[in-house]
């Protein structure tokens, strides 16, 4: 019996040792999966891409290196706020455990001249503007169903194609100008009574349509506020009941209040807008 128990204890010890070794091996494998050249490169790319997309950092000459979860930042910016922003972005990347922010703050620093070729951040900005304007034109009761084209280059927007009325042309330009990031609008829209599919545009037919859900209206009003450069949409509550939109919250001025009401009224399906609870 003693020999049996000795053999049993020996077998148990060996099993435990092998199990422990496997756990250590698994831990090392997991740690390795969370680090290494591939992971370092991915984290560097994520930080650098975010810098490129940021309008505050893209013009600066910044360098990023990552080694085993530690990000080292270097380069030049003109104020402390931009240095802090760069550090916060790096620290927010998944897997970054430490940030060595060696960026130099120089009030006299001048960003390098930008080439005539648009950078990645510029392309994304222009695409975002174009999408926002196209969306607002699609949601508007004035420009629905018309053949309108939007092109953006360095924040300069060109509108072309056709709209049904002069009012629609003016409304399209106003919506474009009121979009965040837009520097100017070249309105080349032509007034035509033909829709995008070649049919004659009739306002009565366009207004009939199908019943639009209140939830759809609420979402589009909120999105229109979000895309606007002159309305703080996050401060405005939007509710819709049978096509009647209720706006509540606080805005900065009477002009902002009036614009918020106008933007809501222009959304397809909106019958009226109540704004008694929208104050400034």
Fold of 210-279: 3.30.1340
Q: What CATH class has 120-207?
A: alpha beta
Q: Model-level pTM?
A: 0.67
More confident residue, 29 or 145: 145
Interval 108-128 mean pLDDT? 77
Low-confidence winner among 20-24, 187-191, 203-207 (lowest mean pLDDT): 20-24
Supply the pLDDT for residue 52.
87
Burial of 178 (0-12, 13-18, 19+ CB in 10 A): buried
Residue 153, classified by CB atoms within 10 Å of its CB into exposed (0-12), middle (13-18) or buried (19+), is: middle
The pLDDT of residue 212 is: 87
Q: In this predicted structure, what is the pLDDT of residue 13?
A: 47
Structure confidence by residue, pLDDT tens digits, 193-217: 665 555 555 555 545 555 689 999 9
Are 93 and 48 contacting, i.e. CB atoms less than 8 angstroms apart? no
In this predicted structure, what is the pLDDT of residue 5? 52
In this prediction, residues 167-175 reach a mean pLDDT of 91
Tally of CB atoms within 10 A around 8:
10
Could you tell me what percent of the chain has a pLDDT over 70?
A: 77
Cα(165)–Cα(33) distance, rounded to whole angstroms? 61
Output the CATH code of domain 37-105: 3.30.1340.30
Average pLDDT estimate for 72-80: 92
Kindly tell me if the per-residue pLDDT of 25 is higher than 50. no
Mean pLDDT of the 133-148 span: 84
- Looking up tokens 């990031």 gives 181
Average pLDDT on 100-105 reads 95
């Amino acid at each position: 019996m003693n020999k049996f128990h000795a053999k049993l204890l020996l077998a148990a010890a060996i099993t435990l040792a092998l199990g422990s070794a496997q756990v250590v091996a698994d831990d090392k494998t997991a740690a390795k999966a969370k680090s290494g050249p591939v992971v370092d490169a991915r984290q560097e790319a994520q930080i650098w891409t975010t810098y490129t997309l940021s309008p505050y950092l893209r013009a600066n000459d910044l360098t990023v290196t990552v080694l085993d979860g530690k990000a080292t930042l270097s380069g030049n910016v003109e104020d402390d706020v931009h240095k802090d922003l760069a550090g916060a972005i790096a620290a927010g990347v998944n897997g970054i455990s430490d940030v060595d922010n060696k960026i130099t703050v120089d009030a006299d620093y001048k960003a390098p001249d930008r080439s005539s070729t648009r950078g990645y951040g510029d392309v994304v900005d222009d695409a975002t503007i174009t999408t926002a304007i196209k969306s607002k034109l699609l949601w508007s009761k004035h420009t629905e169903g018309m053949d309108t084209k939007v092109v953006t280059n360095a924040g300069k927007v060109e509108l072309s194609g056709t709209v049904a009325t002069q009012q629609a042309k003016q409304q399209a330009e106003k919506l474009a100008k009121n979009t965040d990031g837009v520097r100017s609008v070249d309105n080349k829209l032509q007034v035509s009574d033909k829709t995008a599919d070649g049919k004659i545009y009739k306002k009565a037919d366009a207004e009939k349509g199908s019943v639009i859900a209140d939830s759809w209206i609420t979402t589009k009003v909120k999105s229109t506020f979000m895309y606007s450069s002159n309305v703080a949409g996050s401060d405005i509550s939007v509710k819709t009941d049978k096509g009647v939109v209720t706006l509540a919250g606080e805005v900065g001025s009477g002009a902002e209040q009036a614009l918020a009401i106008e933007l809501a009224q222009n959304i397809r399906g909106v019958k009226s807008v109540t704004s008694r609870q929208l104050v400034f």
